[in-house]
């Protein structure tokens, strides 16, 4: 009798845990929630329509030498389709090395639709003027879409083909893939999809970049992180969504530590899974959440009868916090309590202080850099921009350095096993340093051309230095 009861209890616990885990990874990410909340406002054009109507992009404006900079870390900003068109007039280009236009969206049939395509050309010109790498984000949201597209090689190739057409049409520098709620059964097919995308980009140009947004916690075990990182220039670990609209308690969106699951643990999990730190960006939230709660204690139980949690951009959350902001030393994030006639509300978000701690983590772990969700959420007070510049200083090159940059070429770049460096004068002593500034290779030659074997180096961003050379090199595995 006791044995039977034990079996029943064990079965019940297993079922409950299964349901909880399923809910965890079926929960929409902030990317998807924001995408869907603005969907009805957007102009939507299928790629085939854009091609058929012969919308030919004029040549991109050449990079200006005065905007060239020494790149120590990647700062990758997502630019959502709902961001106001005038945003670039207030955007400080110094904080960014990459902008990714969000997005071109795939459906279950493998048809790709571009959101507000009329904004792409002006944004592309902004990135060209400021020497910023410009990518297009491919979104594939939901179990049904990912099962249909990833499960069919024909549909996978159809999606990739349309993305290549967009790259040609608008002269993007690469593609960022944001596939979310990917079923466990599609793990191998996701790798196949990314390999098709990588090969297709390489067939157009070895300089085109491929990147990917990946979850803070891979609940479904759908992401072969090590393999995916070797196919990409970088992965962006979405270091947020630890608490979300339907959370049973209020809590930090991106706890640095102090929770069972936290940003620091996620970074360590990626590295332990075989992702090289030089291939990893830490995604940070420029937003927060506020929940109706049952009392005023820290991490109070939420009150779903009064509505689900609401997300607020940093600029809104900061205003709402005003004089009632607390700082949680356990998780290194701010929070606040508000009250009205219906009861209490508790909000958690990231500000310049908590984000600075995450930037410190990225630098301390020698990550390739950070990703930002999302540009336009920071408002106009300048504190978040100042925080990025403090952690990742903008370092424009001098006129002499510009001449050095223009005098040296590296091919191929991105590189695989070998690179050829060509200079207008003998190279002399040279060294190759990783993103942390650590020297990984050195040599000397009196020739103006040298071939270097980089087969043993992991994926990441490197800098080639010599008396007359300074070049950024990306290695992709």
Assess contact for 241 and 216: CB atoms under 8 A.
yes
Assess contact for 69 and 382: CB atoms under 8 A.
no
Q: Mind giving me the DSSP string for 268-303?
A: HHHHHTT--GGGEEEEEESEEEEEEESSSSTTPBB-
Task: Specify the fold of 399-475.
Answer: Immunoglobulin-like (2.60.40)
The pTM is what?
Answer: 0.81
**What's the pLDDT at 186?**
98
Q: Mind giving me the DSSP string for 210-234?
A: EEEEEESS-TT----HHHHHHHSSE
According to CATH, where is 3.20.20.80 located in the chain? 30-287+352-391
Radius of gyration of the chain (CA): 23
**What's the pLDDT at 45?**
95
**What's the pLDDT at 467?**
60
**What's the pLDDT at 411?**
79
Assess contact for 473 and 111: CB atoms under 8 A.
no
**What's the pLDDT at 410?**
83
**What's the pLDDT at 177?**
98
Mean pLDDT by 10 residues, the chain (477 residues): 51 42 62 97 94 66 46 89 93 94 98 96 92 95 98 98 96 96 98 98 90 97 97 97 97 98 98 95 98 98 97 97 93 97 98 97 95 96 93 64 57 82 80 71 83 83 71 73
According to CATH, where is 2.60.40.3080 located in the chain? 399-475
Task: Specify the fold of 30-287+352-391.
Answer: TIM Barrel (3.20.20)
Coil, strand or helix: which one is 112? strand
Q: Which helix (H) or strand (E) covers residue 175, if one does?
A: strand 174-180
b/e 70-92 (16+ beta carbons within 10 angstroms → b):
ebbbbbbbbbbbbbeeeebeebe
**What's the pLDDT at 339?**
96
Number of helices (H), then strands (E), in the chain: 13, 22
Dihedral over alpha carbons 71, 207, 63, 98 (to 10 degrees): -50
**What's the pLDDT at 461?**
76
Q: Which helix (H) or strand (E) covers residue 469, if one does?
A: strand 469-475
| Cα–Cα distance, 270 to 267 (Å, whole number) | 5
């Amino acid at each position: 009798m006791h044995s039977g009861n034990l079996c029943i209890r064990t079965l019940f616990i297993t079922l409950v845990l299964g349901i909880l885990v399923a809910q965890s990874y079926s929960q929409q990410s902030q990317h998807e929630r924001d995408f869907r909340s603005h969907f009805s406002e957007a102009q939507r054009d299928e790629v085939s329509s854009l091609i058929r109507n012969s919308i030919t992009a004029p040549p991109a404006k050449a990079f200006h030498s005065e905007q060239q900079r020494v790149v120590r870390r990647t700062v990758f900003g997502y630019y959502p389709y709902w961001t106001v068109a005038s945003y670039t007039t207030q955007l400080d280009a110094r904080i960014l090395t990459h902008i990714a236009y969000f997005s071109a969206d795939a459906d279950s049939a493998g048809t790709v639709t571009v959101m507000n395509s009329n904004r792409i050309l002006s944004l592309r010109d902004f990135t060209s003027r400021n020497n910023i790498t410009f990518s297009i984000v491919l979104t594939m949201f939901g179990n049904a879409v990912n099962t249909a597209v990833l499960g069919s090689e024909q549909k996978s190739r159809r999606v990739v083909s349309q993305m290549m057409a967009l790259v040609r049409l608008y002269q993007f520098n690469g593609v960022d893939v944001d596939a979310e709620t990917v079923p466990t059964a599609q793990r191998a097919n996701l790798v196949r999809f990314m390999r098709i995308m990588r090969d297709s980009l390489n067939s157009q140009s070895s300089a085109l970049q491929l990147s990917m947004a990946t979850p803070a916690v891979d609940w479904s075990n759908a992401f072969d992180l090590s393999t995916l990182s070797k196919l990409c220039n970088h992965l962006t670990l979405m270091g947020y969504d630890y608490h979300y609209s339907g959370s049973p308690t209020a809590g930090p969106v991106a706890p640095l530590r102090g929770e069972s699951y936290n940003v620091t643990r996620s970074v360590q999990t990626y590295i332990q899974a075989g992702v090289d730190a030089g291939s990893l960006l830490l995604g940070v939230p420029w937003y927060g959440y506020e929940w109706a709660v049952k009392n005023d204690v820290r991490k109070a139980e939420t009150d779903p009868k009064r509505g689900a949690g609401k997300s607020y951009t940093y600029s809104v959350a900061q205003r709402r916090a005003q004089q009632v902001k607390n700082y949680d030393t356990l998780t290194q994030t701010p929070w606040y309590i508000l009250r009205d006639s219906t009861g209490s509300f508790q909000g958690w978000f990231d500000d310049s202080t908590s984000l600075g701690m995450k930037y410190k983590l990225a630098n301390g772990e020698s990550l390739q850099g950070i990703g930002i969700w999302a540009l336009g959420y920071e408002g106009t007070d300048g504190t978040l921009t100042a925080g990025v510049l403090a952690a990742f200083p903008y370092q424009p090159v001098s006129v002499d350095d510009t001449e050095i940059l223009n005098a040296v070429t590296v091919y191929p770049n991105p590189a695989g096993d070998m690179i050829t460096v060509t200079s207008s004068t003998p190279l002399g002593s040279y060294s190759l340093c990783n993103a942390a500034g650590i020297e990984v290779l050195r040599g000397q030659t009196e020739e103006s051309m040298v071939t270097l074997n980089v087969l043993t180096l992991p994926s990441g961003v490197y800098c080639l230095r010599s008396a007359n050379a300074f070049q950024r090199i990306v290695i992709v595995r």
